[in-house]
Structure 1
């Protein structure tokens, strides 16, 4: 079993979080199950960039990105070489270290205040 290590994020998980994950688990789904509320405006259908994550460790163990994902990533804020959409990442054999970017380009974000 692999671990997904979410680095501290100011609002989503200030202390960071470690989540157990099986091979083939979806990174976005595992985050949401653990209470890490990564944005996902398109409900994980690879139609936006709000679940953009940066894979600091374990990138090569993930499934290959699709052309559709690569096209969407081109629109993401803070794009890096290790960027992926959380909704498209499937856990491999290695532990993952995930950074959630500070910003998204979600113009329709709903705040719960």
Structure 2
């Protein structure tokens, strides 16, 4: 099993998943707000995350993923598509969900309140 922690707008989402699980599948298990407009078939970049820890536990990025990431917003050296990043070994992984992915998630799931838009005070 691998332990995955997702970070999004000040919240953390922790889950244990078996080797072979994608980061997107892991996020869905704990209702972490990771977008997936294409359903996880590497046709968009709405599941874009930043892998902060455990990159070596994930599958290597392939050409299809790199092509899609070329069209994503705020791409960094640690950017991955959650639908393509498969866990290959046990260990601890930490991923920050990108703003692009958060925007997509809340657009796809209007029944969820976007905490970034809640007025304080």
Sort the TM-score into its range (normalised by shorter chain).
0.7 to 0.9
C-alpha distance in structure 1 between counterparts of 2:2 and 2:11, whole Å? 20
| Alpha-carbon offset, residue 92 of structure 1 | 2.5
Query: What count of residue pairs does the alignment treat as equivalent?
Result: 107
User: For structure 1, which runs of at least 5 residues remain unmatched after alignment?
Assistant: none
Q: 1:95 and 2:82 equivalent? A: no
In structure 1, C-alpha distance between the alignment counterparts of 2:60 and 2:27, rounded to whole Å: 20
Q: TM-score, normalised by structure 2?
A: 0.80
* Unmatched tracts of structure 2, length 5 or more: 112-121
More helix by share: 2
TM-fit CA distance, 1:111: 5.7
**Bigger proportion of residues as strand:** 2
TM score, norm. by length of structure 1: 0.85
State which structure, 1 or 2, has the greater radius of gyration over its C-alpha atoms. 2
Give the aligned CA root-mean-square deviation in angstroms.
Answer: 1.7
